Structure formats: C-alpha cells, structure tokens
Amino acid sequence: MPDAAPSILRASRFFLGVKGASFDRLAHMAQVRRFARGAAIFREGQECPGVFVVGSGLVRVFKTAPSGREHVLHLVAPGGTFAEVAAIAGFETPANAEALEDTVCALLPAPAFAQALQDDHQLCLQLMGSMAAWVKHLVGLLEDIALRDATGRLARYLLSEAIEPQDVVRLPSLKKHLASHLNLTSETLSRTLRRMSDAGAIESRDDQSLVIKSRAALEQWARGEFPQI
C-alpha cells in the first residue's frame, strides 16, 4: 500500500542517504500513524515519541507564548520529518505538532531509533549529512527574519517547497499558518502573493496550491533583487 512505512521512509529527504541494512532496520521498526485534521500529534514538553516522517497531509510545528500567541516553526509536507533532533538527543519535545489536514506519518519509535544509532555507526555517518542540511536550513530561517523583506522570505519558501517537475507548491488551508512561519501578517502575505501573481511569477491552482511560472524571478527576489518580468 502506498502509505506503508517503508514507502514513506524511501520518499523522505532526511533518510535519503540511508542504504542497505541500515535502511532495512529503520523500515522494520517504522510504524504507520494516522491523524485526523486538527489532531494534536504531541505537545511541548512531552517525552519524544520518536522521529516522524510525513507520508501524506500537512503538519505544523509551533510554539505557544505565555500570552497565547502562536508562532509556526515549520510546515512539514510529505517527505519531511519532525522531532528528529529530540529523538536523536533524547530530550523532550521542544514544540507542539498538529495535523493541518488528515495526515499519515511513519514513526520511528525513540527507543528503537536510539538503539539503532548506538549499534550502527554507518547509520550515524549516513545521517550526519541530513543533520548538517537541517542546521543550514535553520540558519536560512534566521537570515530570512533578520535580512529579507516579505517578498524575499516568501520567494525562498516557495522555491524550497516546490515539487518538481511541475514546480507545484502546496499551501496550508489557513494562510495564517504560513504567515506565522514567515513572520508576516496575513495581510502582508496576501499582498505579496498577489504581487507575485500579477507579475506572472506564480499562478494559483486552487486554494491550497500554486505553480511557479518563473523560477528566475523568485530567485532574484530571494537575493533581494528586482526581477524584470
């Protein structure tokens, strides 16, 4: 079946470099978990269940301030992972995770995953590249907030989330979650999307997806330049 745990793992960017017996061990321990739209996957401060790999649907990982204000740290689409750092380091979940749509995940339970890391040095080496890429991604998020305007942030996000070869980008049904992730207001996000659409750089397909029509324009915006379209 298409949502079987091994199939979900094979489509994951985080485990792309894991091969042979190392992959077989992960596939053997993986469990399929299904979450209805709006379901809490875990809450901040809980014992980490393990590494989650999204097979279908969409997950938001977010923090809640004492005031009740929420900030979206990540929007995790199919192929993405979450809770991997907590599972590897053995600490509590540092944020909340919620299914924004009906979602299917593969779960690598924390105890079995930690044991695999202890037993299999090759697996550790294979995952080091993925962890380095994750750190680079976090640095990019900090750069976005500190150095890029709304157009630059959105352009970088769309480029990073585009699914080839059609260059389709899936969007959350509630745009406020994407706005929070990019540290923008919902109004600013809507204006920026409209500006990109009017310029011919993107085209809305429906309420939850769009198509990139000009990668060159988005790349220029991401660099802080002004494309000639």
- At a CB cut-off of 8 Å and minimum separation 6, what does 51 contact? 14, 81, 83, 84, 87, 88, 107, 108, 110, 113
Instruction: Mark whether 187 and 137 lie in a shared domain.
Output: no
What's the pLDDT at 40?
98
Q: Which two tokens stand for residue 124?
A: 């550790």
Instruction: Mark whether 109 and 162 lie in a shared domain.
Output: no
What's the pLDDT at 229?
63
Model confidence pLDDT, tens digit, residues 66-118: 888 889 998 999 999 999 999 999 999 999 999 999 999 999 999 999 999 99
State the amino acid at position 53 in one-letter form: V
pLDDT at 1 over 50: no
CA torsion angle 66 67 70 71 (round to 10): -80
pLDDT at 145 over 90: no
pLDDT above 70 as % of the chain: 97
Q: For residue 41, what are the domain limits?
A: 5-143
Residues 58, 164: Cα–Cα separation, whole Å = 18
Instruction: Mark whether 138 and 169 lie in a shared domain.
Output: no
Within a domain: residue 33? yes
Domain CATH number, residue 43: 2.60.120.10
**Domain boundary pick from 109, 143, 177:** 143
Angle at 96 between CA 91 and CA 101, to 5 degrees: 135
* Coil, strand or helix at 159: helix
State mean pLDDT over 205-227.
89
Residues 145, 148: Cα–Cα separation, whole Å = 6
Instruction: Mark whether 95 and 204 lie in a shared domain.
Output: no
Residues 159 and 148: beta-carbon distance below 8 Å: no
Instruction: Mark whether 121 and 168 lie in a shared domain.
Output: no
Instruction: Mark whether 129 and 189 lie in a shared domain.
Output: no
What's the pLDDT at 107?
98
Model confidence pLDDT, tens digit, residues 162-186: 887 789 998 887 788 899 889 899 9
Instruction: Mark whether 41 and 108 lie in a shared domain.
Output: yes
Instruction: Mark whether 163 and 192 lie in a shared domain.
Output: yes
Within a domain: residue 227? no
| Residue 96 bridge partners (DSSP) | 62
Domain CATH number, residue 154: 1.10.10.10
Q: How many domains does the chain have?
A: 2
- What pTM, to 2 d.p., does this model score? 0.78
What's the pLDDT at 49?
98
Quick check: bond before 165 cis, omega within 30? Answer: yes
Instruction: Mark whether 74 and 107 lie in a shared domain.
Output: yes
Instruction: Mark whether 31 and 126 lie in a shared domain.
Output: yes
What's the pLDDT at 44?
97
